[in-house]
Amino acid sequence: MSAASQDRLHDPYPTRLDHAIAPVPRHEPSVWGDAGSGPLPSVDLDAFAAQGYLIRPDTVGEDALAPLGHELERLAAELDADDPRVIREPGGTIRSIFAPHLLSALVADVVRLDTVLPVARQLLGSDVYIHQARINLMPAFTGTGFYWHSDFETWHAEDGMPAMRAVSCSIALTRNYPYNGSLMVIPGSHRTFYPCVGATPRDHHTSSLVAQRIGVPDENTLTKAVDADGIEQFTGAAGSALWFDCNLLHGSGSNITPLPRSNVFLVFNSVDNLLTAPYAADGIRPEYLAARATRSLGLAAPSA
């Protein structure tokens, strides 16, 4: 389907426009389930609804971290140099590997952990599937960051994701320090959609995954959001997870320290929020960026 099939006049979250428009208050709830529908107590659900994120320590156990680290190295070594799922830093080191859950049984097991899948189902209040997964490597000395953005802005504009009913789970595979490129978020920013100016370039993902310039909020918007809500940073031990709403403004700095930072990013989408035609792009993105051949993940694996 082309973008033409999306009726842009009735787009609930207009973006990639030729002129600036006012921010749009979020139409949907941030939390769709309740305390009885999963492992998160009310206090965590309330915090996620208010802040747009939640840090959960011990999401992946110590015993699984070293094997996952070795799996990362295996994938990096085995994937062809020109495999499109491998995104490289300008200097050539690997920055991201997409769809690792389809390349590695160990990563697929993480998706189904009872500390992961039930949390996604509870936050989204439905069966879920993986919209996108990636391993982000922030190599020592040369890791470059991600400018401020809302993932939903991209997933709506370029992947045709209708509503804000998706959640990301970033699991630290190495310790995340304040100074080695850890994720920064603007608390509460998930409650507002910030339309962006600038049409989506053709094959935008071939550049946006290294440096995103289209589909990012302007400096005035970012200044106001930070003045209102500040900035928090996701730091913590390997194995901890940052759950964040699809529309939360986030970004990360570069890593010039000797301490590499790698995370597994799992993006869960509700089965009631399947992708449609892009709202503001001319073609659909590859399956490894935006899953369309999907099936529900069902329930978590029995805890091992």
| Binding residues vs ligand 6CS (CB under 6 A) | 132, 134, 146, 149, 151, 154, 205, 208-209, 212, 289
Give the Cα separation of 183 and 37 in Å (integer): 28
Taking the least distance from each CB to ligand 6CS, the nearer of 190 and 205 is: 205
Q: Tell me how far apart the alpha carbons of residues 228 and 208 are, in angstroms, rounded to a whole number.
A: 28
Which of the choices Fe ion, ligand 6CS, none does residue 32 contact, using the CB cut-off of 5 to 8 A by kind? none
Residue (67 or 286) nearer to Fe ion, CB: 286
Chosen from ligand 6CS, Fe ion, none, partner binding at 132 (C-beta under 5 to 8 Å by type): ligand 6CS
For ligand 6CS, give the closer residue by CB, 35 or 79: 79
Q: Which residue type, as a one-letter code, is found at position 79?
A: L
From residue 117 to residue 156, the character string flagging contacts with Fe ion as x (rule: CB under 5 A) and all else as - is ----------------------------------x-----
In the complex with ligand 6CS, the residue whose CB is nearer, 26 or 250, is 250
Q: 271 is written with which tokens?
A: 């089965």
Instruction: Report what 16 binds from Fe ion, ligand 6CS, none; CB cut-off 5-8 Å by kind.
Output: none
Q: Which does 170 bind (CB under 5 to 8 A by kind): Fe ion, ligand 6CS, none?
A: none
Q: 128-162: b or e for each residue (b if 16 or more CB lie within 10 Å)?
A: bbbbbbbbbbbbbebbbbbebbbbbbbbbbbbbbb
**Comparison of 38 and 217: residue with beta carbon closer to Fe ion:** 217
From the CB of 174, what's the least distance to ligand 6CS, in Å? 19
Minimal distance, residue 136 CB to ligand 6CS, in Å: 8
Residue 71 makes contact with Fe ion by CB under 5 A = no
Nearer to ligand 6CS, 45 or 133 (CB): 133
Nearest distance, CB of residue 285 and ligand 6CS, angstroms: 8
Binding site for Fe ion (CB under 5 A): 151
